Amino acid sequence: MTPFAVHRIDNPTAALIVLIVEVLLFSYFLVVNAVYLGTALVAFVRLPRLVRLLRADPLRDLTPASLPGVSVLVPAYNEERHILRTVESLLNQDYPNFEVIVVDDGSTDATVDVLIERYGLALSSEIHPIAIPAVPVRATYRSSSERRFRILVKDNGGKGDALNAGINVAGNRLIFACDGDSVYTKDALKKMVEPFVDDSKTVGVGSSIGVSNDCLLDYDPIVRKRLSKNWLVRFQVLDYLNAFLSSRVGWARCNALTIVSGASGLWRKDVLIEAGGFRTDTKWEDLEMTIRVHHMLRKKRRAYRIRYTPFSICWTDVPDRVTSLWNQRVGWHRHVSECMSLHRRLLFSRYAGVVGWVMLPYLMLAEWLSPLVVLFGLLFGLVAAYFGFLGYFSQVVLFALVLALGVLTSCCALLLDELTFDTYPLPDALRLLLCTFFVVLGFRPLVTLANLAGFWRWATRAPIGGHRDIVGPGSPPYDPLRS
Amino acid sequence: MVWTTIAVALAAFVLAIGIIATSVLNLARKRSAFVVTQRWRSIFEGESLPDSVPLIRRSQVATVLHVWNDCYVAGARPQLVRAARAVNFEALALDLVRRRREDERLIGLFALGTMRSPAVVPVAIKLAAGGPALLELVAYRALALVDEGMVLPFVQKIAENDEWNVAKVEFVCVELGARKLSRALNHVVTNASGAQLERLRPFLRFCLPQSTKA
């Protein structure tokens, strides 16, 4: 039996074409999985050791007053249900020097009202410098009781624009970009700032994100971590463990972290300003900013590091319905497409190093083009079956291999979590283990379809959608394609 | 391809068994660590030592010394020294330092440094020569606390590397005290380059006025 699906083809040209296509598809499959398992291997070697060492450190809880100041930016659009929880968790930080700035991005619900009521905020007349153009701030509210907290109210311009408005008023040299619907552990800022303190070349830090659906939250550490009963949420728990534990630890090790998540990303303010601030014309802003900073600093040949802390300092609810998951993943894939297009010149350029020669090609193959490859593979299989080229036994074996690799990758992530953070108790770990089979059978096909839709929306230049439709008059940010 | 599939499936099966085993072990370890931590924390934080202290099994040494270190950093110091003498922590910590795992070495090294045990010197010299930055810092701390002659290499190391967390170095400087640090700081500052001076800046407050003038 050949390793591929060729059964019997009398026409030598057709046989050659089928063989080439199958070799290409199989190589793609092998390369993508091999790189993934490679990053997982790095994580296996490095992460448990690192986490044990950090936990054993008797000086881990020191919080000297000399730590650098942080401005926490919380862009909020219609977050009346979550915003209080988010702000409480941020104001509760065990950190000596920080401010929290909520930027209301033209909410049409009571986001601002609930904050005004809770903190007794009053209008304040402030003039803000403009380092990055953004939709003008209409009003600023300050609290007399909580001096570290203020709200900026502006017209809608998208998350990137809200962050830019926040950067303009931020008083500290570090910017912590958050989401208005997540909660943060008490040591979040301390853990995020540590890489800056340890290494002066650090310009950005990303963190792991935990899934908080059905967890008991009480502003400060998650009171009880437990697995949701919703299977869609469970699949995403595995997906998050895969991304944050197996993959990012490996990429960060070689200074090629693909993304500093928008829900918990710490950046040096001067680098954000130098990069021109967050883009307002893309579906999301975090992946683009991370690649842009890589692009800018590599092009300028400056020594820098984008670090990653594997601790889940941010906990967020993931979609628990198929429609909301679909919308989220369509948006994510559209953003990946936008980034690949915007930063195509970083690919294989002389100055790009590991980012342009390994990380971006992998992102292109494993993320951006993956739905197209899957679609092509399926169509090819259908056509081959129609003409009677398929060896059905080979197809069954191929399917079994895909299933086994899917289970293997999920198990890698789950085992890593058990060896390091032990997030879920034994019964939940067993439930997640059971999920590993159904991830391949149900979740991944759904996500692949959503990715295909995202690719299509990008290719057809469909409107960005949601509140991001209204784009502010911000100037174009640093464009590596033009400079 | 059949064999590849079988191999991958077997690997996945082994990992699945690994997950279950690790999860069960985690549960048992957490329970045991909780009991040991509670028991010894109350001893370390108590006014006086109980008549008889619990026996420490080999598997509990790291947990007990971890609690001891934490209590030391939190500031409960006189009782800790009494407890250390009563239980012969020095031998336990030395056993930890000789183990293979870095976290256990770190705990043992920190405790030996705190106890100013001369027995730490050979191991600390070896660990200070290379390894994770945190372990290196704790090894230098132990050496500087035990032997005043090692304060100068410690300060030189602060000036030369930018991998040590400033807050942790500051803690060690406070432990050493201005009297021990001042001369070494002056010596290093006199011969330091611009970047080295920048790294030493946060610690210059440990220079005593008379030695600064000198």
Rounded to 10 deg, the angle between the A392-420 and A426-438 helix axes is 160
Please identify which residue in the block is written with the tokens 């092998």: A30
Measured between alpha carbons, how far is residue A1 from residues A24, A193, A312, A382 in Å? 18, 56, 47, 20
Q: Hey, which residues 194-213 in chain A have their CB within 8 Å of chain B?
A: 194, 197-200
Q: What are phi and psi of B176, to 5 degrees?
A: -70, -35
Asked which of A36-40, A130-134, B45-49, B96-100 is least confident by mean pLDDT, the reply is B45-49
Q: A262 CA to chain B: closest CA distance, Å?
A: 26
What one-character DSSP code corresponds to residue A467? G
Q: CA–CA separation, A18 vs A20, rounded Å?
A: 6
Residue whose C-alpha is closest to residue A286's, from A338, A361, A212: A338
- The answer to whether A342 touches A478, Cβ cutoff 8 Å, is no
pLDDT-derived band at A476 (thresholds 50, 70, 90) equals very low
Q: What is the pLDDT of residues B7-34, one digit of tens each?
A: 999 999 999 999 999 999 999 999 999 9
How close is the nearest chain B Cα to the Cα of A251, in Å? 19
Contact residues for B27 (Cβ-Cβ < 8 A; gap 6+): A425, A426
Nearest residue to A56 via CA among B163, B75, B88, B99: B99
* Inter-chain contacts counted by CB atoms under 8 A, chains A and B: 122
Instruction: Please answer whether residues A269 and A175 qualify as being in contact, where contact means their C-beta atoms are separated by less than 8 angstroms.
Output: yes
Tokens 């209301």 locate to: A104
The answer to whether residues A157 and A135 touch, using CB atoms and an 8 Å cutoff, is yes
Identify the top-confidence range among A20-34, A52-66, B94-108.
Answer: B94-108
Contact B5 A400 (CB under 8 A): yes
* Measured distance CA(A246)–CA(A370) in Å, rounded: 19
What is the rounded (10 degree) CA torsion for A219, A220, A224, A229? 40
d(CA A104, CA A159): 10
Residue A223 pLDDT class (50, 70, 90 cuts): low
Instruction: Establish if B35 touches chain A: CB-CB under 8 angstroms.
Output: no
How distant is the Cα of B133 from the closest Cα of chain A, in angstroms?
10
A305-316 and A202-211: which strand pairing? Answer: parallel
Domain-by-domain residue ranges, chain A? 1-56+199-483
Out of A49, A62, A430, the one facing B168 most closely (by C-beta) is A62
Mean pLDDT over the full length of chain A? 87
Query: For chain B, how many helices (H) and strands (E)?
Result: 12, 0
A153: which strand partners? A104, A139
Judged by a CB distance cut-off of 8 A, whether residue B30 touches chain A is: yes
From chain B, pick out residues whose CB is under 8 angstroms from the CB of A49. Answer: 102-103
Contact B11 A408 (CB under 8 A): yes
Interface test with A, best of B23, B73, B173, B198 (most A CBs within 10 A): B23
CB A40 within 8 A of CB A409: yes
Residue A465 has pLDDT above 80, yes or no: no
Which residues of chain B have a CB within 8 Å of the CB of A52?
A: 101-103
Which residue in chain B is spatially nearest to A196 when comparing CA positions?
B165
What are the chain B neighbours of A194 within 8 Å (beta carbons)? 165
Asked if A425 and B27 come within 8 Å (Cβ–Cβ), the reply is yes
Please report which residue ranges of B88-132 form alpha helices under DSSP H. Answer: 89-97, 102-114, 121-128
Calpha distance A481→A346 (Å, rounded): 9
Which residue is closest to A409 within chain B, CA to CA?
B12
Looking at the complex, report in whole angstroms how far the Cα of residue A381 sits from the nearest Cα belonging to chain B.
17
Q: Are A59 and B73 in contact (CB under 8 A)?
A: yes
CB contact under 8 A, B163 and A198: yes
The answer to whether the CB atoms of A415 and B19 lie below 8 A apart is yes
| The predicted structure's pLDDT at residue A302 | 93
Model confidence over B135-187: pLDDT tens digits?
A: 999 999 999 999 888 999 999 998 888 778 888 888 899 888 888 888 888 88
CA gap A288, A348 in Å, rounded: 18
Which of B19, B24, B103 comes nearest A56 by C-beta? B103
CA distances from A12 to A16, A196, A391 (A): 6, 61, 17
B12 interface with A at CB cutoff 8 Å? yes
Put the strands of the sheet holding A98-105 in their side by side order: A121-124, A137-143, A149-154, A98-105, A70-76, A174-178, A264-268, A202-211, A305-316, A182-184
The pLDDT of residue A168: 94
Interface membership of B132 toward A (CB under 8 Å): yes
